[in-house]
A and B are shown apart, each in its own frame.
Chain A
Amino acid sequence: EPEVTQTPSHQVTQMGQEVILRCVPISNHLYFYWYRQILGQKVEFLVSFYNNEISEKSEIFDDQFSVERPDGSNFTLKIRSTKLEDSAMYFCASRGARQGNEKLFFGSGTQLSVL
């Protein structure tokens, strides 16, 4: 079965530094997402992206966060100035069809640790 690929699997950074988390969604998928999960907590929606623009975002996704699909295959999440509370597992997901409740395919995640 096709899969969503995320790199790196682990990222350690200093507080205040910029990080970019990378994802390769399933080719020919149209909708792209970032979710995160703080250790021991629920999986939380961050943002959805369609047609080269953000379609929806949560209140977590403030102006420190940005997403981009720079080359038609990669989908990135950038955190401009990381905070300790950004430490979490970040999951990328993608979906194919525009309508019809197709399933989301999630990647294995990037564990971000902010020191």
Chain B
Amino acid sequence: DAKTTQPNSMESNEEEPVHLPCNHSTISGTDYIHWYLQLPSQGPEYVIHGLTSNVNNRMASLAIAEDRKSSTLILHRATLRDAAVYYCILSHFFQSGSEKLVFGKGTKLTVNP
């Protein structure tokens, strides 16, 4: 399984932008880059995903390096509710069409008021 590397923790101040980095040097050409977050005692929750181009949605932006070996999740204005563990994941698809998400330890984001 292709692996991702993230910092264990990051801190931010409320209303400031947050850039969460992820390295995935062994990514293959068909791997999508997904980001999920997890609040305490909750299931993972989808944030964003992309393949090659940068992506924006209402929650965040995803910046993907040209060689695809790294990416950055950008929260434009952190709020206290953004405090969570953020996982950068490469989805591995099987021939059946199903896939598995291989979770790492993620980055625990703390947002200071």
Contact = CB atoms under 8 A, between A and B. Distances in A.
Interface centre among B42, B96, B98, B103 (most CB of A within 10 A): B98
13 contacts: A43-B44, A50-B98, A56-B94, A56-B96, A56-B100, A91-B43, A98-B97, A101-B49, A101-B91, A104-B46, A106-B43, A107-B43, A108-B41
Interface in B16-54: 32, 34, 36, 38, 41-46, 49, 51
Nearest to B49: A101
Interface of B: 32, 34, 36, 38, 41-46, 49, 51, 87, 91, 93-94, 96-105
A99 B99 CA distance: 10
Contacts of A35: 101
A56 B94 CA distance: 8
B98 A56 contact: yes
Nearest to A53: B96
B100 A48 contact: yes
Given A45-B102, A101-B49, A101-B91, A55 B42 contact: no
Nearest to B44: A106
Contacts of B44: 43, 91, 104, 106
Contacts of B100: 33, 45, 48, 56, 58
A44 B43 contact: no
B45 A43 contact: no
A48 B78 CA distance: 34
A25 B105 CA distance: 26
A55 B96 contact: yes
Contacts of B102: 45
A50 B46 contact: no
Contacts of A33: 98, 100
Contacts of B105: 42
A106 B45 CA distance: 7
A65 to B, nearest CB: 15
